[in-house]
Structure 1
Amino acid sequence: MTTPHVAPRRGALLLLAATQLLLITDTAIVNVALPSVGEDLGSGSAGLSWVANAYLVTFGGLLLLGGRAADLLGHRRVFLGGLGVLAVASAAGGLAPGAGALVAARAAQGAGAALAASAAFALLLLLFPDGPARHRALGAFAAMGGLGGVLGTVLGGVLTDLFGWRSTFWLNVLFAAVLALPALRVLDGRPGRLRPGGLRPGGLDLAGAATATAGLGLLAYALVGAAETGWLSARTLTTGGTGVALLLAFAAVETRSAAPLVPPAVLARPALRTANVLAALAQTTLFPMFFLVSLHLQSVLGSGPLGGGLGLLPLSLVVVAVAPQTGRIIFRIGLHRAMTLGFVLLCAGTLWLALALTPDGTFASTVLAPSLLIGAALPLVMVTTNVAATAEATAEETGLASGLVNTSQQFGAVLGLAVLVAVAAGRTEAVDAARDAAETAGHRAALLTGAALAALAALLSVRLHLPKPAPVP
Structure 2
Amino acid sequence: MTEEILPTPTTGGTRVPGPPGSRRRPGLVLAIVLTCQTMFILDTSVVNIALPRIQRDMAFSPADLSWVLNAYMLAFGGLLLLGGRIGDIFGQRRALIGGVAVFTVASLAGGLSASAGMLLVARAGQGIGAAVAAPTVLALITIGFPDQAARGRALGAYAAVSGSGAALGLIAGGMLTDWISWRWVLFINVPVGAVLLVSAPLFIAETDRRPGRFDLAGSLTSTLGMTALVFGFIRAAEQDFGDPAALGALGAAVILLALFVAIEARARQPITPLRLFAHRDRATGYLGLLFVMAAGNGMFFFLTQFLQQIRGYDPLKAGLAFVPLTVLILISSHASARLLPRLGAKTLTASGAAAITVGLLWLARLTPSDGYAGSLLGPTLIAGLGMGTLLVGITTVLTSGVRAEDAGAASGLLNVMQQIGGALGLAILVTAFGAATRTAHGTGHHVFTKGATTAFTVGAAFTACTIVLALTMKTRQDPAPEPLRGEESIR
TM-score in terms of structure 1 length: 0.90
Instruction: Indicate the larger mover: 19-28 or 235-244.
Output: 235-244
Q: Residue 466 of structure 2 aligns with which residue?
A: 457
Instruction: Tell me, in whole angstroms, the C-alpha distance in 1 between the residues paired with 2:4 and 2:44.
Output: 37
Q: Residue 39 of structure 2 aligns with which residue?
A: 22
Shift of 1:15: 1.4
359, 366, 369: which one aligns with 2:375: 366
Instruction: Tell me, in whole angstroms, the C-alpha distance in 2 between the residues paired with 1:457 and 1:297.
Output: 28
Whether the 8 Å CA contact 1:57–1:221 is kept in 2: the answer is no
Gap change, CA 1:160 and 1:342, over 3 Å in 2:
closer
Whether the 8 Å CA contact 2:77–2:131 is kept in 1: the answer is yes
Whether the 8 Å CA contact 1:53–1:224 is kept in 2: the answer is no
Shift of 1:8: 1.6
Give 2:184's aligned amino acid: S
Whether the 8 Å CA contact 1:62–1:217 is kept in 2: the answer is no
Say whether 1:239 aligns with 2:256.
no
Say whether 1:412 aligns with 2:421.
yes
Q: Which has the higher helix share?
A: 1
Say whether 1:380 aligns with 2:392.
no
Whether the 8 Å CA contact 1:91–1:170 is kept in 2: the answer is yes
Gap change, CA 1:264 and 1:358, over 3 Å in 2:
closer
Say whether 1:60 aligns with 2:77.
yes
Instruction: Tell me, in whole angstroms, the C-alpha distance in 1 between the residues paired with 2:193 and 2:482.
Output: 42
Gap change, CA 1:389 and 1:430, over 3 Å in 2:
same
Task: Report matched runs for 1:38-187 at 5 Å.
Answer: 38-129=55-146, 131-187=148-204
3-state SS in 2 of match to 1:63 = helix
Gap change, CA 1:303 and 1:132, over 3 Å in 2:
same
Deviations 1:265-300 (A, max 9, x none): 333332221110011111122111112222222222
Instruction: Tell me, in whole angstroms, the C-alpha distance in 2 between the residues paired with 1:224 and 1:185.
Output: 44
Instruction: Tell me, in whole angstroms, the C-alpha distance in 2 between the residues paired with 1:330 and 1:412.
Output: 25
Whether the 8 Å CA contact 1:339–1:461 is kept in 2: the answer is yes
Whether the 8 Å CA contact 1:61–1:220 is kept in 2: the answer is no
Say whether 1:193 aligns with 2:194.
no
Shift of 1:110: 0.8
Gap change, CA 1:63 and 1:324, over 3 Å in 2:
same
Whether the 8 Å CA contact 1:139–1:379 is kept in 2: the answer is no
Q: Residue 3 of structure 1 aligns with which residue?
A: 3
Instruction: Tell me, in whole angstroms, the C-alpha distance in 1 between the residues paired with 2:479 and 2:179.
Output: 55
Instruction: Indicate the larger mover: 389-398 or 143-152.
Output: 143-152
Say whether 1:209 aligns with 2:219.
yes
Instruction: Tell me, in whole angstroms, the C-alpha distance in 2 between the residues paired with 1:471 and 1:241.
Output: 40
Deviations 1:91-129 (A, max 9, x none): 222222222122111111111111111122221222223
Gap change, CA 1:450 and 1:211, over 3 Å in 2:
closer
Deviations 1:346-391 (A, max 9, x none): 2222222323x23222100001112111111001112211211221
Gap change, CA 1:348 and 1:46, over 3 Å in 2:
closer
Deviations 1:389-421 (A, max 9, x none): 221211111111111111122222222222223
299, 304, 322: which one aligns with 2:309: 299
Alignment coverage as a number of residue pairs: 464
Shift of 1:326: 1.4
Give 1:433's aligned amino acid: G
258, 273, 282: which one aligns with 2:268: 258
Shift of 1:318: 0.8
Gap change, CA 1:22 and 1:229, over 3 Å in 2:
farther
Give 1:124's aligned amino acid: I
Say whether 1:397 aligns with 2:414.
no
TM-score in terms of structure 2 length: 0.87
Shift of 1:224: 4.8
349, 353, 360: which one aligns with 1:350: 360
Task: Report matched runs for 1:276-291 at 5 Å.
Answer: 276-291=286-301
Q: Provide structure 2 residue ranges, at least 5 long, that are not aligned to the other structure.
A: 6-22, 484-491
Gap change, CA 1:38 and 1:414, over 3 Å in 2:
closer
Q: Residue 16 of structure 2 aligns with which residue?
A: none
Shift of 1:74: 0.8
Give 1:3's aligned amino acid: E
Give 2:99's aligned amino acid: G
Shift of 1:85: 0.6
Say whether 1:428 aligns with 2:437.
yes
Q: Residue 444 of structure 1 aligns with which residue?
A: 453
Q: Give aligned-pair identity as a percent.
A: 37
Q: Provide structure 1 residue ranges, at least 5 long, that are not aligned to the other structure.
A: 195-199
Shift of 1:84: 0.6
Whether the 8 Å CA contact 2:171–2:319 is kept in 1: the answer is yes
Shift of 1:225: 4.8
CA RMSD, Structure 1 to Structure 2 (Å): 2.5
Whether the 8 Å CA contact 1:63–1:407 is kept in 2: the answer is yes
Say whether 1:36 aligns with 2:36.
no
Shift of 1:230: 4.1
Give 1:119's aligned amino acid: T
Whether the 8 Å CA contact 1:338–1:380 is kept in 2: the answer is yes
Q: Residue 20 of structure 2 aligns with which residue?
A: none
Instruction: Tell me, in whole angstroms, the C-alpha distance in 2 between the residues paired with 1:334 and 1:234.
Output: 48
Instruction: Tell me, in whole angstroms, the C-alpha distance in 1 between the residues paired with 2:268 and 2:138.
Output: 26
343, 346, 349: which one aligns with 1:339: 349
Instruction: Indicate the larger mover: 378-387 or 416-425.
Output: 416-425
Whether the 8 Å CA contact 2:46–2:170 is kept in 1: the answer is yes
Instruction: Tell me, in whole angstroms, the C-alpha distance in 2 between the residues paired with 1:169 and 1:471.
Output: 40
Instruction: Tell me, in whole angstroms, the C-alpha distance in 2 between the residues paired with 1:329 and 1:260.
Output: 36
Gap change, CA 1:79 and 1:231, over 3 Å in 2:
farther
Instruction: Tell me, in whole angstroms, the C-alpha distance in 2 between the residues paired with 1:470 and 1:431.
Output: 52
Gap change, CA 1:150 and 1:455, over 3 Å in 2:
closer
Whether the 8 Å CA contact 2:95–2:132 is kept in 1: the answer is yes
Deviations 1:441-468 (A, max 9, x none): 3322222222222222112211112585
3-state SS in 1 of match to 2:66 = helix
Instruction: Tell me, in whole angstroms, the C-alpha distance in 1 between the residues paired with 2:209 and 2:427.
Output: 38
